Each structure stands twice: as structure tokens, then as C-alpha cells.
Amino acid sequence: MSDVTPPNGQATPEQAARATDAALAASPGASVPVTPPATTVPLSTADERPELVVGAALAGGFVLGLLLKRLGR
């Protein structure tokens, strides 16, 4: 296991846990701020079913083509 910091500059969860453990061991009377657990972002419909996005783009292009054809008359 390595202690290399990722390119984004943030510590990995393992590094953060070890730092918290080290802080508690260094001063048992000190309090360490508690961070809430990471939550997952719910997937949108486009992420779950990309074929709907493609179908909507196709239908929109078809409607736009019909509209432009009428305006050209």
C-alpha cells in the first residue's frame, strides 16, 4: 500500500482514516471533526437508458426538418 496522494490533491479514504487514527493516538483528549459518509449520486434517466436520449434527438431532428420544410414553401 502506498501513501501517494492522487493528482487531484485529495487524500484517499484510507489515508484520511490513518491520519484520523494518528491524530487520536497523539492526543487522546482532543476531538476530531466527524465527516459524514460519502453518498452516491442517483443515476438520471439518461445514464440508465441512453437509447432514450438518442431517440429523442432523432425525433427532434425529424420535427425540426418538417418545420423547416414548411417554412421553405
**Residue pLDDT, tens place only, 17-48:** 777 777 666 665 656 566 766 677 677 888 88
Residue 24: its pLDDT value, please? 65
- Please indicate, yes or no, if residue 29 is contained in any of the structural domains: yes
- Please indicate, yes or no, if residue 22 is contained in any of the structural domains: yes
Residue 52 has pLDDT above 70, yes or no: yes
Residue 53: its pLDDT value, please? 93
Total tally of structural domains belonging to the chain:
1
- Please indicate, yes or no, if residue 56 is contained in any of the structural domains: yes
Range of 53's domain? 13-71
CB contact at 8 A, 20 and 32: yes
CB contact at 8 A, 32 and 44: no
- Please indicate, yes or no, if residue 2 is contained in any of the structural domains: no
- Please indicate, yes or no, if residue 4 is contained in any of the structural domains: no
Report residue 61 as a C-alpha cell. Answer: 431532428
Q: What percent of the chain has pLDDT over 90?
A: 30
Alpha-helical (H) ranges within 1-73 are: 13-26, 45-48, 50-71
Residue 66 region by backbone torsions, left for phi larger than 0, else alpha for psi between -120 and 50, else beta: alpha
